[in-house]
Amino acid sequence: MNEPRKFSANLGFLWRELALPDAIHAAKISAFDAVECHWPYHEDPERVAAALAATGLPMLSINTRKGDADSGEVGLSALPDRESEARDHIEEALAYADAIDAAAIHVMAGIVAGGDSAHRAARTAFVSNLDFATEKAAAQGRDILIEPLARQSFPGYFLDSSALAREVIEEVGRSNLKLLFDTWNLHLLEGDSTPITDLFERHLPIIGHIQFAAVPDRGPPDHGDIDYADFFETVDRLGYLAPLGAEYIPPEGDTEAGLGWMSALRGRD
C-alpha cells in the first residue's frame, strides 16, 4: 500500500472565523497533517505555539505583512523606496516564525507601477531584500518562499510568472530561497500555454511548497479546470512527499462541509 498523501490546512482561508489556536485544533480534528497561515501577527505567538505543540501539527509557512492593505499594498520587498519597511517586515516574520517554529516565510513582493525602468529597479530591490531575508533565515534553519500571483486578482504584482521567479531565485543564489508553487495562481497566469503538471515538473528542483484550489473559483479541489487526481499522481511520481497546502475558499464559509475531497485525494490503495 502506498503511503497516503499529506495535506496542510491554510488557515488564512479555512476556519477563518476561529482564532488561530482554535483553527489549529480544528485542522487536527479534521485529519490535516500540517497547517499554514497568512498573517498571524495579531495572535499571541505563545498561544499559537501551544496549539501546535498540543496537536503535533507543524506550521509550514507564514507571510510577511502586506504593508498598507487599505491602500491596496500587497507586500513591500520589490518596492525600491520601501527597503527599510520591507526589512522590518522580514525580521518581524522571522521572529514570529522562530517563536512558533514555522518552517518558511513567504516574502511578498508588492505592486509595481510603471514601465521597464520601474521593473528593473523593482527587481534590484527584490533581489537585495531576498538576499537579506535568506541570510537571516538560514541562521534559523528556515526557508524563504516567493510566489507568483495572478494578475487577474493582483494587477501589477511584480512577481507575475514562474519564469521570473526562477530567474530571481537563481540571481539570489541561496539554497533556502524556493518557489511557492500555487496551482490556482499559476494556472491563471500560464495554464493557457502550459499544463500545470508540466509547470510542476519544470520547476520541481526549486519548489519549496505547493498550494492548491479549484480553478477558476478557488473552491475545494473536487471540480474545475485542474484534475487534481492527475496532478497529485504526477507529484507522487516525481517524488514530492511534503504536505500539500489546501488554500481554497470553503463553500458558504463552512470548512467542514467542504472537506469531502480529502478522502478521495488521499491516494490510499
How do residues 181-217 score in pLDDT, each as one tens digit? 999 999 999 999 999 999 999 999 999 999 999 999 9
Residue 110 in this model has a pLDDT that exceeds 50: yes
Sketch the domain layout of the chain as residue ranges: 7-265
Contact 227, 196 (CB under 8 A): no
Output the average pLDDT for the chain: 96
Residue 240 in this model has a pLDDT that exceeds 80: yes
Contact 130, 94 (CB under 8 A): no
165-169, 201-205, 262-266: which range is least confident on average? 262-266
Residues belonging to the active site: 147, 247
The model's confidence at residue 123, banded by pLDDT at 50, 70 and 90, is very high
Residue 234 in this model has a pLDDT that exceeds 60: yes
Nearest-CA neighbor of 258 among 228, 213, 225, 215? 213
Q: Is the dihedral of CA 172, 109, 211, 202 positive or negative?
A: negative
106: amino acid identity, one letter: H
- Identify the pLDDT of residue 1: 40
pTM listed for this prediction: 0.96
Q: List the CATH code of the domain at 7-265.
A: 3.20.20.150
Cα–Cα dist 164/185, whole Å: 14
